[in-house]
Amino acid sequence: MSTEPFRNVRLLPQTNQLLGLYTIIRDKNTTRPNFIFYADRIIRLLVEEGLNYLPVEPTVVETDTNENFEGCSFLGKICGVSIVRAGESMEQGLRDCCRSVRIGKILIQRDEETAQPKLFFEKLPSDIANRYVFLLDPMLATGGSAIMATDVLIKRGVKPERIFFLNLICSKEGVDRYHAAFPDVTIVTGAIDQGLDENRYLRPGLGDFGDRYYCL
């Protein structure tokens, strides 16, 4: 699906390789080990894509042949913040690409009385206001948890334009609602689904990501 109607949405190139990976993880008959393996491959692609949008400066190095190579170096520090629990599945993919990266966590759960998201816990780097933040959550459905988590980051001093929300699948409704609250946050995703069903699950979706990733 084209992202032309969406401002600040970066959709991974819809190659046959990526379509094949999504075909595997969406299949209800895929075993848990295979689900984890192929989901991790997509997560790695999302992290690599997110890194493309960080600022750089020109850098010249000398090679072993005593020649100069004109390249670039990243500016600023980054950290990952996972929305517990499903977002924790994306932490290793970030660590694989960024050595010694700091990781924060935000726990948000639905209040059974009000059916609204409720903040239960946050643990973030003390200098997070000076970092670029990769917010990690595999699915963006209604956007409620993502909006609350992003609000936590902004209250801690993180500028919206320094936040990159990485997810495997999102809905148009979720994107619209999220960007109505935070238009300057960039969403990096691999798929935009048709919509939400009567239970507010993504369609066609893949079920509960956390259950399929963590539960036997």
pLDDT of residue 114: 63
- Assigned CATH for 9-214: 3.40.50.2020
CB atoms within 10 A of CB 42: 22
Residue 71: other Cβ atoms inside 10 A: 10
Catalytic residue IDs:
110, 114, 208, 211
| Per-residue pLDDT tens over the stretch 24-67 | 999 999 999 999 999 999 999 999 999 999 999 999 999 999 99
Contacts from 115-122 at CB under 8 Å and sequence distance 24+?
116/144, 117/144, 117/145, 117/148, 119/148, 119/152, 121/84, 122/152
Bridge partners (DSSP) of residue 167 are 189
The predicted-structure confidence for 119-159, as pLDDT tens digits, reads as follows 889 999 999 999 999 999 999 998 989 999 999 999 999 99
State how beta strands 68-74 and 56-62 pair.
antiparallel
Q: pLDDT tier at 1 (50, 70, 90 boundaries)?
A: very low
Q: pTM of the prediction?
A: 0.92
Helix axes of 144-155 and 172-181: crossing angle, nearest 10 degrees: 20
In this prediction, residues 176-193 reach a mean pLDDT of: 96
Token reading at 155: 């209250």
The owner of tokens 């819809």 is: 14
